[in-house]
């Protein structure tokens, strides 16, 4: 078992584990820690806790010290300097005529680097821009291209419900979302109604997806044959998921139709085989718990499989709007894969390349003219310009 605390570096950012050592650290305290970006200033979100060694992301770094008033003042000064750096970078972008939207500027705590986050439809050659910024700030410059979800998370706003966006208010990480979740909840499949400000599927589709999946598993599908009390055989016309009631249609020998509503517990039918989320594993399945870790690692793989199946289904139904929305979801997944591969120093395997070609084949309807539109913002990242540099200069 390892003793850790949870530290967050942004207001609504991911929580990282650190070893508190001998320090007396409480929730809400500010600490100074070493990270991949250098020395950073963070806030303790989770107090001391014991977790299994297998669940700890190695190497587990030790908290250097508690933050002092001088550290708090440095952070405040950095926030003021970020505003000036943002204005300067935006002017340089305009001067270069680059097709990119600057989102945010961020100083590291030790002032060893400035990170500029930007959004663009495709790859951008910003090598000259990096040189311009390095000549002005005289420190290391890093430019990072982010997706539409991260852009919306940083910018914030109000959702269709009238409340602040979930991603910018409390969601520390994006969860996999698919159009199948909207189908499971019997929601409208109009892309404008199930898409958020980022143009992607709303994160809130995931909130009740497990509950609806469990409730739907106990109900017959519309059109299924059911046996009502008294042995009468009918067809499930409509189902009420929340009330767990089924409206059954009976047809007599004369062709007359009759509708009656029954609780699902009074009907006999073949249920869908799905288990309740979070249900305790049976003793004989105790070994399956050890595989949960591997399943968590394959979460994105499962998400891709669902989205690929969905794209084929929606394309077959000749619904280009839904197919395009699902295709954008896949583009985001590919961007995340590329970022992980680049961070780990890996390259895409032939298997991944074949999978991506298969995705695009199903995701993009063929152009009648036989030509491809390279200006499509949701197309391959390398189709709109030269390969982007590493984005750093010293």
Q: Examine the pLDDT at 389 and tell me if it is beyond 60.
A: no
Between residues 248 and 313, the one the model is more confident about: 248
**Which segments of the chain does DSSP mark as H helices, in order?**
69-96, 127-137, 148-155, 166-169, 179-184, 191-194, 209-217, 292-297, 299-316, 320-344, 350-363
91: confidence class by pLDDT, cuts 50, 70, 90: very high
Examine residue 74 and say whether the peptide bond preceding it is cis (omega within 30 degrees of 0): no
**Distance from the Cα of residue 197 to its chain's centroid:** 14
374: confidence class by pLDDT, cuts 50, 70, 90: very low
Per-residue pLDDT tens over the stretch 135-153: 898 889 989 888 888 888 8
Q: Examine the pLDDT at 39 and tell me if it is beyond 70.
A: yes
93: confidence class by pLDDT, cuts 50, 70, 90: very high
pLDDT the model gives residue 360: 54
Rounded CA separation 336/146 (Å): 10
**Which segments of 317-385 does DSSP mark as H helices, in order?**
320-344, 350-363
273: confidence class by pLDDT, cuts 50, 70, 90: low
Between residues 340 and 164, the one the model is more confident about: 164
89: confidence class by pLDDT, cuts 50, 70, 90: very high
SS3 330: helix
Phi-psi region of 81 (alpha: psi -120 to 50; beta: other; left: phi over 0): alpha
Q: Examine the pLDDT at 365 and tell me if it is beyond 80.
A: no
């Amino acid at each position: 078992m390892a003793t850790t605390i949870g530290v967050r570096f942004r207001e609504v950012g991911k929580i990282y584990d650190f070893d508190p050592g001998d320090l007396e650290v409480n929730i809400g305290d500010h600490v100074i820690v070493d990270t991949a970006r250098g020395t950073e200033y963070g806030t303790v979100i989770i107090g001391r806790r014991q977790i299994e060694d297998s669940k700890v992301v190695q190497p587990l770094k030790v908290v250097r010290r508690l933050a002092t008033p001088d550290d708090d003042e440095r952070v405040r000064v950095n926030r003021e300097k970020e505003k000036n750096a943002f204005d300067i970078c935006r002017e340089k972008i305009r001067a270069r005529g680059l097709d990119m939207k600057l989102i945010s500027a961020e100083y590291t705590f030790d002032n060893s680097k400035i990170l500029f986050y930007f959004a663009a439809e495709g790859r951008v050659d910003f090598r000259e821009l990096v040189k311009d910024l390095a000549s002005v700030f005289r420190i290391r410059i890093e430019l990072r291209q982010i997706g539409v979800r991260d852009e919306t998370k940083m910018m914030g706003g109000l959702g269709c419900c009238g409340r602040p966006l979930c991603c910018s208010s409390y969601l520390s990480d994006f969860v996999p979302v698919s159009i199948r979740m909207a189908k499971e909840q019997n929601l409208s499949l109009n892309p404008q109604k199930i898409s958020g400000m980022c143009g992607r599927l709303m994160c809130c589709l995931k909130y009740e997806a497990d509950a609806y999946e469990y409730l739907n598993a106990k109900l017959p599908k519309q059109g299924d044959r059911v046996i009502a009390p008294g042995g009468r055989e009918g067809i499930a016309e409509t189902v009420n998921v929340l009330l767990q009631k089924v409206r059954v249609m009976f047809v007599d020998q004369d062709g007359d139709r009759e509708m009656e509503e029954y609780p699902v517990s009074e009907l006999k039918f073949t249920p869908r085989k799905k288990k309740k989320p979070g249900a305790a594993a049976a003793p004989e399945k105790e070994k399956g718990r050890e595989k949960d870790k591997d399943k968590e690692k394959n979460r994105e793989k499962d998400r891709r499989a669902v989205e690929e199946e969905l794209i084929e289904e929606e394309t077959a139904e000749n619904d280009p709007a839904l197919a395009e929305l699902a295709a954008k979801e896949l583009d985001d997944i590919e961007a995340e894969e590329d970022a992980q591969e680049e961070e780990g120093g890996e390259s895409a395997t032939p298997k991944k390349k074949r999978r991506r070609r298969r995705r695009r084949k199903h995701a993009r309807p063929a152009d009648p003219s036989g030509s491809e539109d390279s200006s499509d913002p949701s197309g391959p990242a390398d189709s709109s310009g030269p390969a982007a540099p590493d984005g750093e200069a010293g």
